Structure 1
Amino acid sequence: MVAITLSDPVKSLLRDIEFSNSASIKSSSLNIPLIDVPVFKIPSRTITINGTEFGNSIMNVGPTQTREDVIYAQFLAGNIPEFMRNAISVTVTAGNNTLIYWVLPDVLAVGTNADYLRTPLNPLTARKVADLFGCVLPTRKMAHQIWQTATVKLTPSPNGPPYDATMMSTERMIFHNKKIQTALGSKVPGELVAGHKKDVVISVGLLTHPKNVAIVGWWYPSGQIIQPLNYLSHDRYYKDYSHGIRLINRIVSVNGQWYDIYEVLRNNTLGNLISDEGPFDATQMYT
């Protein structure tokens, strides 16, 4: 067992995060004991605009900061599907150490359970939403762990050409979302879904390329991946239809104790549970 010394700010964070043993929390494995879980700090809903209505309202807005701000405002107003408030646990073990983290069942989306639009964001806005919800973006290793844990593994469905700036358009965002919904069919939302989007991630590579975005994903059900980790191709204002924002609660359980995931990532031993790039400091990434 490895001990982590928590700083005073982390202790304050732990005091601030609410905990719950709500039945709405789903366990990814039947042999995981029931424990209290951290609650995502998602704002209560103050507006209700479904995904179709929201998509239509931004159809003529280009991939600008204006669109980022409009999407962020939806999350600030709590306009997300209700199933996205129910976390799913992912458990990883190495040697004598076991870590449990909690992830939202799908990438960020605006709307209702019946009608929602997945919304790609640049990593700066993604980090703002993550901070608002008390969350972090995944590492490459976590993105793969989440895919492995997912009970719904969709086959990646790229939009195809043209491979140009239109990939960032609202029209292609909406088109890809419709393809995903068609693939899901009549499946009731709430299970952990993966394979349908590339993940925006935190990475050691961003320490030397801090003005870029790191992406990975689009695993086929066979395990083959379309997009290996890439933090070189795009700057941090880039976002296209294929990107998804997957959020993990910042508070995790390590050997039955609560810790800030940023502290775990910096730990020489425990960091390897959720990072295949070694320990690193991710606190300032995408800020």
Structure 2
Amino acid sequence: MKKPFLIIIFLVSNLVSIAQTLNLTPYLVNPIGGKEFTSNLASANVALNIREQIIYQEIVKGNIPDYLMKLSKISHTEIIDGKAYTIAFYVTPDYLSIGNDSDNVYIPMTPILAQKVATKFNCSLPTKKMVDLIYNSATIKLEPKPIPPSDLMTTIFVLKQHDEMVKEQLKPFLDDHQKSELTAGNKKDVIISNKIYTEATPKVVIYGWHKLDGKPIQPVYNKHANTWADYSHGIRLLQNNVWVNGKKTTIAKVLADQKLAVLLSDEGVIKKAYYPITDY
């Protein structure tokens, strides 16, 4: 009599291990390549809000590399009140880019757009702790390649310059990268944090860009306006659904839970696990 019950338990437990994918409709018409897209964007020389509207439309059409569609599983265990709690969550294997597998460009964006994209695809942005967990789990770790600060940091020109630097680094790992191997060290993360809401005006919170020794270049920082997006920023999406000891819940629920928040946060409970969608 126990066998049917055991089979049910086996099937339920294996739902977590089934490959997770980004909920994105594939591009149906010949998509534009990343290089052409960014060149057109630079030539258009439009205001930031228009630029991000164009980027959003291209992403929701499905013009992202296929290798970004297969999500990477991250598992982490904490002992809470003497009991082991293991959380499993799923992340894009690299930062968002526009284009196809052979011609794509990383696309930094403001937290306004990042939140819109995340919400559209039933995803979240990472916390600081999640960024660390992702880096530790990455099989492809790149040395950060900063570009000296200048007035051009937020331009398409510098965005493309840095993209070319990272793509050169990826050449020895190209086969694994195309197979959706988890990649880190190439960008800072736009993160969710209580620090989003501690300033008088809306801010972006950034963190990460880990060196090969595992130490981040960028500590948690929230002094840029929420309209700031420079070449170094990367957007990594995380599926909203997570599993705690095999039970499905969401990132937002875990972060709002006084007991379980430590699984995903090292700054305590985060009740507003999202950015406000403001004007530019």
CA RMSD of aligned residues (A): 1.8
- Pairs within 5 Å for 1:1-287: 35-36=17-18, 38-47=20-29, 48-60=31-43, 61=45, 64-95=48-79, 96-160=84-148, 163-186=149-172, 187-188=174-175, 189=177, 190-209=180-199, 211-231=202-222, 233-287=223-277
How far apart, in 2, do the equivalents of 1:92 and 1:143 lie? 12
SS at match of 1:59: helix
- Deviation track 1:89-108 (CA, whole Å, cap 9, x = no partner) reads 00010121000000000111
**Is the 8 Å Cα contact of residues 106 and 246 (structure 1) preserved in structure 2?**
yes
**CA separation of 1:277 and 1:283: change in aligned 2, threshold 3 A:** closer
- Deviation track 1:251-286 (CA, whole Å, cap 9, x = no partner) reads 001110110110010011211011000011124523
> Which residue of 1 is the match for residue 7 of structure 2?
none
How far apart, in 2, do the equivalents of 1:191 and 1:39 lie? 14
Worse-matched range after superposition: 91-100 or 204-213: 204-213
Structure 2: any 5+ residue segments left out of the alignment? 1-10
How far apart, in 1, do the equivalents of 2:118 and 2:208 lie? 19
How far apart, in 2, do the equivalents of 1:131 and 1:203 lie? 17
**Is the 8 Å Cα contact of residues 236 and 286 (structure 1) preserved in structure 2?**
no
SS at match of 2:32: coil
Deviating beyond 4 angstroms after TM superposition, the runs of 4 or more aligned structure 1 residues are none
How many percent identity over aligned positions? 33
Structure (1 or 2) with the larger CA radius of gyration: 2
Letter in 2 for 1:73: Q
How far apart, in 1, do the equivalents of 2:169 and 2:145 lie? 9
Q: Aligned-pair distance for 1:66?
A: 1.3
Aligned length: 254
How far apart, in 2, do the equivalents of 1:284 and 1:248 lie? 12
How far apart, in 1, do the equivalents of 2:213 and 2:273 lie? 34
Letter in 2 for 1:224: K
**Is the 8 Å Cα contact of residues 124 and 274 (structure 2) preserved in structure 1?**
no
**Is the 8 Å Cα contact of residues 124 and 237 (structure 2) preserved in structure 1?**
yes
**Is the 8 Å Cα contact of residues 213 and 238 (structure 1) preserved in structure 2?**
yes
**CA separation of 1:46 and 1:101: change in aligned 2, threshold 3 A:** same
**CA separation of 1:37 and 1:191: change in aligned 2, threshold 3 A:** closer
**CA separation of 1:135 and 1:254: change in aligned 2, threshold 3 A:** same
Relative to its length, the structure with more helix (as a share) is 2
Q: TM-score, normalized by length of structure 2?
A: 0.86
**CA separation of 1:146 and 1:63: change in aligned 2, threshold 3 A:** farther
Q: Aligned-pair distance for 1:38?
A: 4.9
**Is the 8 Å Cα contact of residues 63 and 168 (structure 1) preserved in structure 2?**
no
- Deviation track 1:188-239 (CA, whole Å, cap 9, x = no partner) reads 22211100100000111112126000000111011122100001x2010100
> Which residue of 2 is the match for residue 10 of structure 1?
none
